Amino acid sequence: MAVSGTVNISASFIDSDESTGIESEKKLSLASADVHTGGKVALVSGTCNTTEVAIDLTSLGYRDAAGDEVSMDIVQRMAIKANPGAFAEFVDSGEKLKSLCDRVSVSCVQNTDDTIHVYTTAGSSTYTILFYGS
């Protein structure tokens, strides 16, 4: 079994003005693309509310393409998508990632925490988290 993937992040905006009779534009952008090979990946989904849901990285309940259960010692990249919104927080380090309005948020981390808490500040939310690490 082999793991390979790409994390692409791109933000691009055009700022335009015609107030002087001359059209002026400025383009602003920020992008990165990282290719990852090897390692492990896992996807975890659920529902959370103001009471924290604990995700144990040593027992994720996710099976890889070979049917083996995946556990992680180190998380290097994490992506979360939540609706209407949720936080994913590494318990020991306090490092947080937030997703709102069903949009993906991605973080580059080097974390060895065993547990991640997922929660909202009000109401309930659905979430999906993608982990990449080893």
In this predicted structure, the answer to whether residue 109 has a pLDDT above a threshold of 90 is: no
For residue 90, give both structure tokens.
């590494």
pLDDT given at position 111 = 83
pLDDT given at position 30 = 95
Pairing mode of beta strands 24-37, 96-100: unpaired
Look up the pTM and report it.
Answer: 0.89
In this predicted structure, the answer to whether residue 110 has a pLDDT above a threshold of 90 is: no
Q: Residue 21: which residues within 8 A CB-CB, separation 6 or more?
A: none
d(C-alpha 1, C-alpha 25), whole Å:
49
Lay out the sheet containing 104-111: strands in order across. 40-48, 125-133, 75-83, 104-111
Q: Residue 22: which residues within 8 A CB-CB, separation 6 or more?
A: none
d(C-alpha 81, C-alpha 45), whole Å:
9
Does 2.60.120 match the CATH number of domain 39-133?
Answer: yes
Q: Residues 35-93: pLDDT tens digits?
A: 999 999 999 999 999 999 999 999 999 999 999 999 999 999 999 999 999 999 999 88
pLDDT given at position 37 = 92
- State the pLDDT confidence band at 1, using cuts at 50, 70 and 90: low
In this predicted structure, the answer to whether residue 119 has a pLDDT above a threshold of 80 is: yes
Q: Please, what is the average pLDDT of the chain?
A: 94
For residue 104, give both structure tokens.
């993906």
